[in-house]
Amino acid sequence: MQADTKTSRAARPRVVIIGAGFAGVWAARRLSGKPVEVTLIDRRNHHTFQPLLYQVALAALSPGDIAQPIRTMFRNQPNIDVLMDEVESIDAESHRLQMRSGATLEFDYLILATGATHSYFGHDEWAAVAPGLKTVEDALEIRRRVLLAFELAERQKLEHGSHPPLNFVIVGGGATGVELAGAIADISRVYMREEFRHIDPANAHVLVIEGSPRLLNSYPEGLSRDAERQLQERGVEVHCNSRVTDIQPGYVVVDGKRVESVVTLWAAGVQASPLGAMLGAKTDKRGAIVVDLHLNPPGMPNIFVCGDLAHVEENGRLIPGVAQPAMQMGRHAAEEILADLAGKPRTLFHYFDKGDMSTIGRHSAVANVVWPFKEHLQGFAAWLAWLVVHIYFLIGFRNRILVMLQWVWMYFGFSGGPRLITGSQKLPGWTTLTGNDAPAADPMDPTSPGVVEKHHLVR
């Protein structure tokens, strides 16, 4: 009986899904229990709910609240294998993948959904000084830096009577930048207001630097103005039409002016994962693979590209690289494969836009609702809508309950989440202002606490 089962499975078409983000997971879900053998490959063992990563970065949630082990998600789907590995090359003609482990994997259908990473516009050296936010590791590093800045300020105030200004600079005014700015303002003004004895965390200064004329550039202009107003009510300083030309430990250069920064965060650009280049298909300037409305690169009907890795245009409009279309693309790719197996014609992908929303902080958000009704929401109403949507799409009943309870506790108890600092206690650019007590600067070490000598905010 066991041999018959193995023979039966081997005779089924093999679908390989690379990437366990939104697109990959939704594709695998649709193919579970179907007459195909699915191999889901990711270099990490967990799926991350990226829209809530910023809450891990600012200590509102723990990593386990927004991440789920991939094997746990599919443990009851016997036709889905999970492989923790990384693809090094793709041979589209022979339908083979070369894995980093040395293994070779064959496929009948391939779904590429490896997402995107940070783009520093040719300045990759900025990454060590200004981390972006795409993974749990990124979130923990941002949390370490932000919380450590307050701890170092408290220690220095106690020991020396002064400390550098707590300036937090966020490069980029899209959804990630806006959410990070609001969250830093909240933890400094609300959740940590009574936890320090020698500094006032509310004196922290948050700046958002955006190159375009307004924040949330893809949102309706009225909601952009609402977002900027809600940030300013939290003390956040917004600079639009501004360009960052250099980032160094302890400061950034904006339009030729030096702006002191104890923590700099990057939220300005993304580029597709390098897997797109391996395929040999046409890519756009972000490295995303140009595909048709079947989600296939030209001449590759058995290969589907989904999520941030796909450049898809519908009615002349580029479909955005966010969670909602990624889930729809993953499901559509699976439907195309099932249509082939059933001998049915394929259908074109159509993006069902339900709207966008971004939280500004505690009981504040903006929402461009398209479905089930058209409405622009801001403030508390938008924040409630944001809560409901994110709880609904979180994977795992346990995660939904934990996140909901944590948010209730924070809202009514004015108590922050797990503000744990792990790893190095050094902060790029931190300087002891008294001079004699400062460690000697090592210009070759970006984490050296003596690299920058002065901290003055240029406005």
> Which residue carries 């090094």 as its tokens?
88
Per DSSP, what are the bridge partners of residue 96? 91, 106
| Four-CA torsion 82, 85, 89, 93, nearest 10 degrees | -20
Question: Which pair of structure tokens corresponds to residue 77?
Answer: 């789907």
Residue 433's CB: how many other CB atoms inside 10 A?
15
* Calpha distance 412→392 (Å, rounded): 21
Q: Give the helix/strand (H/E) hosting 207.
A: strand 205-209
Question: Which pair of structure tokens corresponds to residue 176?
Answer: 């990630």
Q: Give 212's contacts (C-beta < 8 A, 6+ positions apart).
A: 173, 240, 241
Q: Give 162's contacts (C-beta < 8 A, 6+ positions apart).
A: 156, 433, 434
Question: Which pair of structure tokens corresponds to residue 97?
Answer: 């993948």
- The one-letter code for the residue type at 29 is R
Active site residue 179: yes
* Calpha distance 319→314 (Å, rounded): 7
* Calpha distance 191→1 (Å, rounded): 60
DSSP 69-138: EHHHHTTT-TTEEEEE--EEEEETTTTEEEETTS-EEE-SEEEE---EEE--TT-GGGGGTS---SSHHH
* Calpha distance 204→189 (Å, rounded): 8
Q: List the catalytic residue out of 37, 141, 179, 336.
A: 179
Do 21 and 307 contact (CB within 8 A), yes or no? yes
Q: Give 249's contacts (C-beta < 8 A, 6+ positions apart).
A: 129, 428, 429, 446, 447, 448, 451, 452
Residue 148, helix vs strand vs coil: helix
Do 35 and 337 contact (CB within 8 A), yes or no? no
- The one-letter code for the residue type at 143 is R
| Four-CA torsion 368, 370, 371, 374, nearest 10 degrees | 90
Give which of 341, 266, 278 is closest to 114, Cα–Cα: 278
Task: Indicate which residues carry an active-site annotation.
Answer: 179
